[in-house]
C-alpha cells in the first residue's frame, strides 16, 4: 500500500487559520510535513502566533490578511499564497462565522447577506481562485460545513444553517465538476467543538453541560478532532474519496 498520511513537500492554504479550528488545522498540516499559508481577516497577532508555531516545526509559513467576502481580495490572497509556496496542493476553506444570532422574522436583508457571504460566497471566491493552481498539482479541497447544515442549527441560526447546508451542496457539485481535473473535494461538518471563539462568543456556558449530555461520546469536541479529519482528507489515504461530508460530532448526529 503506497497511501500515506505524510504531507511532506505539500503546500497548503488555510483560510481563517489565526485561531481555533483553522489554527489547529494549519498546525496539523505542518506537523505532517506541509508548508502552510495562514490567512486571517482581522487578527494579525494570532495569525503571527500560528506562523511561529509552524515555523518551529521546520516548515515554511506566511501570514496573509484578506476580507474573504471581497472577490478581488480573495483572488489576490490565493495568488500571493501560491507565489510564496510555489503552488498549492491543499486548500482548506475554514473561514466562516455565525455573525449574529437573530430570528428570521427580525432579520433584515443586510444581515442575511452578511451571513451568506462570509460562509458560502467566501468559499466560492476562494475555490474559484484556487482551481488553476490545484489543477496543476491535482490537489485537494476541504470545505467547512457544520452540524447546523443538516440539523437546522440552534436559536437564531437559521440562515447560518442554510449557508452551511449550501456549502455541503457546493462541495458535492464541485467534486463532480473538478474530478476530471484530478481535484478531490470534500467537506467536514463539525458539531459542538469547545475551546473555540465561535462558542465563546455565541454559546452561553450554562448550556454547555446540556449540549454535552446529548453527545454519546460524553464530551465536547476539540479543534484537534476536526484537524485530524482534514489531515486525512488531504492525504493520499483519502485518494479515492471525493464529494463526501464527514461529520465530526461524537455521534450527536448520524445520517
Instruction: Find out whether 185 and 238 touch, Cβ atoms under 8 Å.
Output: no
Beta strands per DSSP E along the chain:
11-14, 35-40, 61-65, 90-93, 140-144, 184-190, 245-248
Instruction: Find out whether 89 and 137 touch, Cβ atoms under 8 Å.
Output: yes
First-to-last alpha carbon distance for the chain, in angstroms, is 30
Closest CA to 28 of 233, 199, 175: 233
Tell me whether residue 155 is one of the annotated catalytic residues: no
Ramachandran angles phi, psi of 153, nearest 5°: 80, 175
Rounded to whole angstroms, the Cα distance separating 126 from 15 reads 9
**Catalytic residue among 125, 160, 170, 202, which?**
160
Known catalytic residues are: 160
Amino acid at each position: 500500500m503506497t497511501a500515506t498520511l505524510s504531507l511532506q513537500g505539500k503546500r497548503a492554504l488555510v483560510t481563517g487559520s489565526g485561531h481555533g479550528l483553522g489554527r489547529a488545522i494549519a498546525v496539523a498540516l505542518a506537523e505532517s510535513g506541509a508548508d502552510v499559508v495562514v490567512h486571517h481577516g482581522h487578527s494579525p497577532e494570532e495569525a503571527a502566533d500560528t506562523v511561529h508555531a509552524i515555523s518551529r516545526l521546520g516548515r515554511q509559513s506566511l501570514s496573509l490578511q484578506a476580507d474573504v467576502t471581497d472577490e478581488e481580495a480573495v483572488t489576490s490572497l490565493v495568488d500571493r499564497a501560491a507565489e510564496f509556496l510555489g503552488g498549492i496542493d491543499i486548500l482548506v476553506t475554514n473561514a466562516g462565522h455565525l455573525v449574529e444570532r437573530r430570528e428570521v422574522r427580525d432579520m433584515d436583508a443586510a444581515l442575511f447577506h452578511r451571513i451568506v457571504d462570509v460562509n458560502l460566497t467566501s468559499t466560492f471566491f476562494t475555490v474559484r481562485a484556487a482551481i488553476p493552481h490545484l489543477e496543476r498539482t491535482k490537489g485537494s479541497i476541504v470545505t467547512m460545513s457544520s452540524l447546523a447544515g443538516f440539523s437546522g442549527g440552534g436559536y437564531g441560526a437559521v440562515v447560518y444553517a442554510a449557508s452551511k447546508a449550501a456549502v455541503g451542496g457546493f462541495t458535492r457539485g464541485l467534486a463532480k465538476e473538478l474530478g476530471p481535473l484530478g481535484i478531490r473535494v470534500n467537506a467536514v461538518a463539525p458539531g459542538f467543538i469547545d475551546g473555540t471563539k465561535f462558542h465563546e462568543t455565541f454559546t452561553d456556558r450554562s448550556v454547555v453541560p446540556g449540549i454535552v449530555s446529548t453527545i454519546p461520546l460524553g464530551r465536547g469536541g476539540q479543534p484537534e478532532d476536526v484537524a485530524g479529519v482534514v489531515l486525512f482528507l488531504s492525504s493520499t489515504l483519502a485518494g479515492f474519496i471525493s464529494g463526501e461530508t464527514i461529520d465530526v460530532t461524537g455521534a450527536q448526529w448520524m445520517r
